[in-house]
């Protein structure tokens, strides 16, 4: 009974582009747990008991919230499904503060990548071109590694079925397009066979593991050490940097800001524009602009 209802809910969510593979696995386990107790409707105490089995606090919270989301959907059609209390297993969520790279740091990273070994191999060209593309476009590393040669078009990069199952076109600045074409020219001369843009020394698709190893070496060469708290700058922080710089260039006119935000959100492939607004927290520059706009608003001026 519950598993059929879970399938209906998952199908509804997946129609919006969500994969939900972990949701399916965990909710099926909850359905088995409820069935063992002779229940075919969601009960709050059963959800709490099931989620309490997880070893880590974060897992207990995550598993419980997945049942809560399902319960809200089912309760709308059948009040016999109880909605568990949302505050149970509550914990404050901390998002890591991103490292916003300066222009000098970006240059040092790309140059350090170009000095990687082995000498004469495609590796230094691949890693330096990949990092340059990330800084120029804000792509997710998974999106860049998945690029195929046919995805590089005169109009930009075709990013296929990414995080939310969508495909989008990412226009390139002429300088970025030229740099990518130069890399592809060298790539064709040195390796062949695989049609992925970024390849390993063996000529096969560059894996995330292979890139990760190179990335750590590049950080050392560029002299970018761990920050307070022991965290090193992340490759995902390049995406944060791109988004932050794009938002810093937003027009001053209030009626144009919304359009600018939507354009940045679409370019980055966010499923919701609220995900883009989060980047306003990233730098003092953005936060001070928000504060100044609020102050003008309270003083009766135009924000």
| 236 belongs to the catalytic site | yes
Q: What's the CA gap between 272 and 303, in Å, rounded? A: 24
- Cα 54 to the center of its chain, rounded Å: 26
Catalytic residue among 125, 239, 240, 245: 239
Q: Is 173 an annotated catalytic residue?
A: no
- Tell me the residue ranges of DSSP E strands in the chain: 152-153, 156-159, 168-170
Active-site residue flag, 163: yes
Is 240 a known active-site residue?
no
Residue of 163, 232, 234, 289 marked catalytic: 163
Question: What's the CA gap between 251 and 236, in Å, rounded?
Answer: 26
Whose structure tokens read 């492939």?
269
Catalytic site residue 14? no
H/E element, 225: none
SS3 286: helix
Q: Which of 140, 177, 196, 240 is catalytic?
A: 140
End-to-end CA separation in angstroms for the chain: 54
The residue annotated as part of the active site, out of 61, 232, 236, 289, is 236
Q: What is the four-CA torsion angle of 46, 52, 58, 61, rounded to 10 degrees?
A: 20
Active-site residue list? 140, 163, 236, 239, 270, 279
């Amino acid at each position: 009974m519950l598993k059929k209802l879970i399938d209906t809910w998952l199908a509804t969510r997946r129609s919006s582009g969500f994969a939900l593979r972990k949701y399916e696995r965990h909710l099926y386990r909850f359905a088995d747990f409820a069935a063992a107790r002779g229940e075919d409707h969601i009960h709050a105490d059963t959800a709490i008991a099931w989620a309490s089995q997880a070893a880590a606090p974060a897992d207990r919270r995550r598993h419980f919230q997945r049942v809560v989301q399902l319960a809200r959907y089912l309760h709308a059609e059948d009040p016999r499904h109880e909605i568990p209390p949302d505050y149970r297993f509550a914990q404050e969520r901390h998002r890591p503060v991103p490292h916003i790279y300066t222009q000098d740091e970006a240059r040092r990273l790309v140059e350090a990548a170009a000095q990687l070994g082995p000498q004469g191999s495609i590796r230094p060209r691949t890693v330096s071109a990949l990092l340059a593309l990330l800084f120029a476009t804000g792509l997710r590393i998974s999106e860049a590694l998945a690029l195929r040669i046919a995805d590089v078009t005169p109009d930009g990069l075709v990013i296929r079925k990414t995080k939310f199952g969508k495909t989008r076109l990412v226009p390139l600045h002429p300088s970025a397009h030229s740099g990518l074409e130069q890399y592809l020219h060298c790539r064709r001369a040195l390796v062949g066979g695989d049609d992925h843009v970024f390849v390993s020394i063996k000529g096969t698709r560059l894996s995330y593991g292979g890139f990760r190893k190179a990335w750590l070496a590049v950080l050392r060469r560029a002299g970018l050490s761990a920050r307070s708290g022991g965290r090193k700058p992340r490759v995902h922080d390049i995406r944060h940097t791109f988004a932050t710089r794009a938002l810093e260039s937003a027009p001053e006119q209030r009626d144009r800001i919304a359009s600018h935000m939507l354009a940045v959100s679409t370019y980055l492939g966010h499923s919701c524009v609220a995900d883009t607004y989060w980047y306003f927290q990233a730098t003092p520059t953005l936060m001070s602009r928000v504060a100044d706009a609020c102050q003008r608003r309270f003083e009766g001026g135009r924000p």
